Amino acid sequence: MTLDLPTLLQDIAADVRPLLDEGDVASYIPALSRVPRAQFGIAVATVDGHVHGAGGSEQRFSIQSLSKMFALALALQREGDALWQRVGREPSGTPFNSLVQLERERGVPRNPFVNAGALVVTDVLCRRYLQPERAVLEFVHRLLGEANVAIDGEVARSEREHSDRNAAIAHFMRSFGNLHGDVGAVLDAYCAQCAIAMSCRELARASLFLAADGVQPPGERVVDALAARRIAALMLTCGAYDAAGDLACRIGLPVKTGVGGGIVAIVPGRLCVCAWAPGLDANGNSIAAAAAIERFAAAIGASIFAADTPRS
């Protein structure tokens, strides 16, 4: 049976509307604290080239930690498996901006999706590119096949001015020899990367290579198949920080969340879905976006744990 994706997305948008008043917008970045909470968008991009959306699917928002998927892919392009000598591949069980494990584990972050790990990835890019944030942005442009996406300067400045905890994390790792570059330069690049603004439609399209074994439709090889699968595995186990297990149980798909309210999920071999709503739960994950993707995955029978996953 062929699913009517446009109708399904419209139904999901209506279903989650009562959740838009729940949660709080990210307040530790002042520019994000001013984002109106009662907004929602959802979009699906399929590996055969179709894109469908509902709600505010074309409205751009700060992708924040969703940028870590793209930065990690770019770093793996350049470093290969040598990257894993500096950052682990295990869930943290702690908040995304925690310093707790770094002392016990001698400055090696648990995974590349907690802030510590993302700063190591940015440090790698700083040694490879004169403007690493531009490299991440241009990587996104190549994935989209267009150069309309940009860094939101106001958000980047706001985040950089309130980056004391990330600075502490970076200096701590540098004390263990696991951050090689200038801390200020790493923070500048990281905050700018997180301030990229994209829509649900753009994020779903840009993430398709993760659903297609590293090949961006219609056929450009982005990373090798093993790297794409490893990124997907990390999304499943670490993509929602200390709520990764809960979302794996609820959704059954690799996901990546961001405090801008976006969530990307991949259905291997089939599609990517992105939902956005600014209201966050206590773990920093969007309440309405998580509910929307949960409903979507259930409706199309997409859980990777299903014995016989139906095809749309």
Token couple for 88: 């682990």
Token couple for 286: 């969007």
Token couple for 131: 């403007």
By three-state DSSP, how is residue 205 classified? helix
Going from the C-alpha of 150 to that of each of 74, 104, 124, the distances in angstroms are: 17, 38, 22
Tallying the residues shown for the chain, one arrives at 312
286 is catalytic: no
259 is catalytic: yes
Angle at 75 between CA 151 and CA 133, to 5 degrees: 20
Amino acid at 1: M
**Cα 190 from Cα 126, distance rounded (Å):** 10
- Do the Cβ atoms of 222 and 216 come closer than 8 Å? yes
207 is catalytic: no
- Active-site residue (options: 25, 44, 47, 68): 68
**Cα 28 from Cα 272, distance rounded (Å):** 29
Residue whose entry in the numeric block shows the structure tokens 């979507």: 296
**Cα 239 from Cα 208, distance rounded (Å):** 16
65 is catalytic: yes
Residue whose entry in the numeric block shows the structure tokens 């139906």: 310
- Active-site residue (options: 259, 264, 267, 273): 259
Q: What 8-state DSSP symbol labels residue 85? A: G
Burial class (CB in 10 A: 0-12, 13-18, 19+), 34: exposed
- Active-site residue (options: 87, 114, 121, 190): 190
**Please, where are the H alpha helices in 80-111?**
100-104
- Active-site residue (options: 57, 65, 67, 92): 65
312 is catalytic: no
**Cα 127 from Cα 271, distance rounded (Å):** 33
End-to-end CA distance of the chain: 7
> Which residues are catalytic, by number?
65, 68, 190, 241, 259
